[in-house]
Amino acid sequence: NAGVTQTPKFQVLKTGQSMTLQCAQDMNHNSMYWYRQDPGMGLRLIYYSASEGTTDKGEVPNGYNVSRLNKREFSLRLESAAPSQTSVYFCASSEVSGSNQPQHFGDGTRLSIL
Amino acid sequence: SQKIEQNSEALNIQEGKTATLTCNYTNYSPAYLQWYRQDPGRGPVFLLLIRENEKEKRKERLKVTFDTTLKQSLFHITASQPADSATYLCALASKLVFGTGTRLLVSP
């Protein structure tokens, strides 16, 4: 029972490089999310997809793009990585968004930008 | 904007005692509030949800209260165990806003 799977688990990039973080869920959830977690800042929403075919900006979308490839997969792309994007990135899913449904998280991608 | 505040200092308690963690929110009156547990190197895991019309919710050794007048939720772990050591996050799920979490350390 995989739940939410994120790849890769770790990545080191140089400033200016591009990178796509992958996320897939096997729970048939409609909504998916990307967060970043930094010390002292907590989880901050980057982008979310309420349903297949839709995406919306969260609190900190600058420097990122997303693609909801299908119901299962939601990817996050850094077009030109910056040191300020060094963080732990979490993908999550829920049955629907904006409701009392719990979110199910992956175990994160630890990204360092040099 | 909606804001959630949790005590950033770690809470250290002895095994067997009750741990109480606090979550305060501003600028919003949520219909629901959620609590998650996060272990080092892992993603958050959902524990409990409480509705605004519920004063208290229990699940095994866990208890959550919700005071809409004080804009506060308390999370209690009774008979705490070293295995309860983790960071606990509260969240306004409908607004996709999480607190920074409070780290709990339970000593044998």
Residue B52 is predicted with a pLDDT of 84
Q: How far is CA A91 from CA A13, A22, A23, B47, in A?
A: 20, 9, 6, 18
pLDDT band at B24, cuts 50/70/90?
Answer: very high
Neighbours of B56 (CB within 10 A): 11
- Average pLDDT score over residue span B16-38: 89
pLDDT digits (tens, 9 = 90+) for B92-102: 877 788 999 99
Residue B18 is predicted with a pLDDT of 97
Higher pLDDT residue, B4 or A62?
A62
C-beta of residue A11 within 8 angstroms of C-beta of residue A109: yes
Residue A99 is predicted with a pLDDT of 65
- With CA atoms as reference, report the closest residue to A42 among A86, A9, A87, A5: A87
Contact check, Cβ <8 Å, B97/A58: no
Closest by Cβ to B94, choosing from A44, A99, A107: A99
Nearest Cα of chain A lies from the Cα of B98 at a distance, in angstroms, of 6
Question: Cβ of A100 under 8 Å from any chain B Cβ?
Answer: yes
Residue A63 is predicted with a pLDDT of 96
Distance CA B45, CA B35 (A): 9
Mean pLDDT by runs of 10 across the 114 residues of chain A is 92 97 97 94 93 94 96 97 97 85 95 96
